């Protein structure tokens, strides 16, 4: 309406969220969202052609206020190969806007809507085949703040889960095409936060200080899976259930439906690394749905003491167990060191990282380090034997005793050569190239 002041919406890429709205009145908000189809990283060595609202997955975060009147522009980049539209769950009206925004490559459409209901809403593309457009990453969140605003917090982040269906299984390198059959079977190769494996870990981890109140705007684009969203080591003080106004307190895990959202809030009481997961836990540790919040500050030993005792307890002894072989293609053969390093990196992520950790640092008392490991560097052939046959009994690595069991990994000589070449050339280890022939001899 003519009387409302006009403002341009601030749009942000995950994990960032636009600043809280401080105005005390409705406005005409102009949103300009551009669709692009872009090749980006799904995981280390794995690319995918994502279809995006704003250049990345999830789409730009949009933040408005209840009763705002939105002038919504949808632009489809001329380089796109497909038409797209948008269905915003915050819209009351046909298709949530989809009926008015079918936009061919190189075109722009505009429609207006009034935000009648406060809440956190998913938006997504609804162009046929709808499932495919969503599976390619066409979703994001729009927050409609209640008129009085949301309570002030110290940190706000944007986290959105999605499931992806690639021809190659998890970790198979290269530019991976969409796999319709896997999508129909609801059998994703990837389940990730914010569009890729590792989007919220390592240098990309979320951060907070002890004492901060943290708010996560959590969405789930699907297309298929329901998320059991959980932060390991935290309890949500408050959850705005399903993104609406009902606040549920003291929640461990909250369901986020496909095409739904939740707002979770908690106080970071003690320092440490808090792991965001879909607690359908194979998705977290084997398909990518894992992120991290690093909290820094002073400890409070009353709330969390840290480990007080650690000693061996093995009433029935230990045995070497067998791990199933990964489904990576047996065909990948390396003919030089560079190829071994590349294939070895993926093999490491698939077969070793769960225990020896991303940087080979291990976990003290449980999994010995491979980084600068004196045990490893003293005798590479012995280490090859460990990978080929498993290991049990006491060993000393960098001055620490380990008395645990490493499973026998069903890897071919070629795969062991590649993963060991990778390990020997990382993290300050002594380098070199290990060949399948050397593996054959060493494990005999």
Point out which residues bind ligand HEM (CB under 6 A). 351-352, 354-356, 367-370, 373, 375-376, 383, 386-387, 391-393, 395, 397, 402-407, 409, 419, 423
- Strand 408-409 relative to strand 290-296: parallel, antiparallel, unpaired? unpaired
> How far out from the chain centre does Cα 177 lie?
20
Q: In what order do the strands lie in the sheet with 290-296?
A: 206-209, 290-296, 272-278, 227-232, 253-256
136 binds, among Cu ion, ligand HEM, none (CB under 5 to 8 A by kind): none
Closer residue to Cu ion (CB): 27 or 75: 75
Query: Least distance to ligand HEM from the beta carbon of 411, Å?
Result: 6
C-alpha–C-alpha distance, residues 43 and 38, integer Å: 15
The binding site for Cu ion (CB under 5 A) comprises 84, 125, 127, 133, 138
C-alpha–C-alpha distance, residues 227 and 64, integer Å: 26
Closer residue to ligand HEM (CB): 135 or 417: 417
SS3 percent helix, strand, coil of the chain, rounded to 5, is 20, 35, 45
Query: Least distance to ligand HEM from the beta carbon of 425, Å?
Result: 12
Closer residue to ligand HEM (CB): 196 or 351: 351
Query: Least distance to ligand HEM from the beta carbon of 336, Å?
Result: 20
C-alpha–C-alpha distance, residues 4 and 22, integer Å: 16
Q: Is the dihedral of CA 220, 226, 227, 228 positive or negative?
A: positive
Greatest pairwise CA separation for the chain in angstroms: 84
84 binds, among ligand HEM, Cu ion, none (CB under 5 to 8 A by kind): Cu ion
393 binds, among Cu ion, ligand HEM, none (CB under 5 to 8 A by kind): ligand HEM
Check if the beta carbon of residue 179 is closer than 8 Å to that of residue 166: yes
Closer residue to ligand HEM (CB): 21 or 343: 343
147's torsion region: left (phi>0), alpha (psi -120 to 50) or beta?
alpha
190 binds, among Cu ion, ligand HEM, none (CB under 5 to 8 A by kind): none
User: Minimal CB distance to Cu ion: which residue?
Assistant: 125
125 binds, among ligand HEM, Cu ion, none (CB under 5 to 8 A by kind): Cu ion
Closer residue to Cu ion (CB): 223 or 291: 223
Task: Measure the CA angle with vertex 117, ends 114 and 122; round to 5°.
Answer: 90
Token readout for 247 is 């606040």
Query: Least distance to ligand HEM from the beta carbon of 176, Å?
Result: 23
Query: Least distance to Cu ion from the beta carbon of 50, Å?
Result: 11
Report which of 35, 13, 178, 32 is spatially closest to residue 102, judged by C-alpha positions. Answer: 35
Closer residue to ligand HEM (CB): 266 or 402: 402
Closer residue to ligand HEM (CB): 31 or 391: 391
């Amino acid at each position: 309406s003519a009387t409302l002041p006009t403002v341009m919406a601030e749009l942000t890429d995950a994990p960032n969220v636009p600043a809280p709205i401080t105005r005390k009145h409705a406005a005409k908000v102009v949103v300009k969202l551009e669709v692009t189809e872009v090749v980006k990283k799904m995981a280390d060595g794995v690319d995918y052609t994502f279809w995006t609202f704003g250049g990345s997955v999830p789409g730009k975060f949009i933040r408005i206020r209840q009763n705002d009147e939105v002038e919504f522009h949808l632009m489809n980049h001329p380089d796109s190969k497909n038409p797209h539209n948008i269905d915003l769950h915050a819209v009351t009206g046909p298709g949530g806007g989809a009926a008015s925004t079918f936009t061919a490559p190189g075109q722009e459409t505009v429609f207006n809507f009034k935000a009648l209901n406060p809440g956190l809403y998913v938006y997504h593309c609804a162009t046929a085949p709808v499932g495919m457009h969503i599976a390619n990453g066409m979703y994001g969140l729009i927050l409609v703040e209640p008129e009085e605003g949301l309570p002030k917090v110290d940190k706000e982040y944007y986290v959105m889960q999605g499931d992806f269906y690639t021809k190659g299984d998890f970790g198979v390198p290269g530019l991976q095409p969409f796999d319709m059959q896997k999508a129909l079977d609801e059998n994703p190769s990837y389940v990730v936060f914010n569009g890729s494996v590792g989007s919220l870990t390592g240098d990309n981890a979320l951060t907070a200080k002890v004492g901060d109140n943290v708010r996560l705007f959590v969405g789930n684009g699907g297309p298929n899976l329901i998320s059991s969203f959980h932060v390991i080591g935290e309890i949500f003080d408050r959850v705005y259930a399903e993104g609406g106004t009902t606040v549920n307190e003291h929640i461990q895990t909250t369901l986020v439906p496909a095409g739904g959202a939740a707002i979770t809030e908690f106080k970071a009481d003690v320092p440490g690394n808090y792991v965001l997961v879909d607690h359908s836990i194979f998705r977290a540790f084997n398909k990518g749905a894992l992120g991290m919040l690093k909290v820094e500050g002073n400890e409070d030993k009353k709330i969390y003491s840290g480990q007080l005792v650690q000693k061996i307890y093995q009433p029935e002894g230990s045995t070497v167990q067998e791990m199933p072989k990964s489904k990576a293609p047996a065909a990948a053969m390396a003919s030089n060191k560079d190829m071994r390093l590349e294939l070895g990196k993926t093999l490491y992520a698939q077969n070793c990282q769960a225990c020896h950790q991303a940087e080979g640092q291990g976990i003290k008392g449980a999994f010995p380090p491979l980084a600068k490991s004196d045990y490893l560097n003293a005798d590479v052939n012995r280490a090859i034997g460990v990978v080929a046959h498993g290991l049990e009994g006491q060993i000393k690595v960098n001055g620490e005793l380990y008395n645990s069991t490493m499973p026998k990994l069903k890897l071919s000589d070629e795969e062991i050569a590649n993963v060991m070449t990778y390990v020997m050339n990382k993290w300050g280890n002594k380098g070199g190239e290990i060949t399948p022939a050397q593996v054959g001899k060493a494990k005999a």
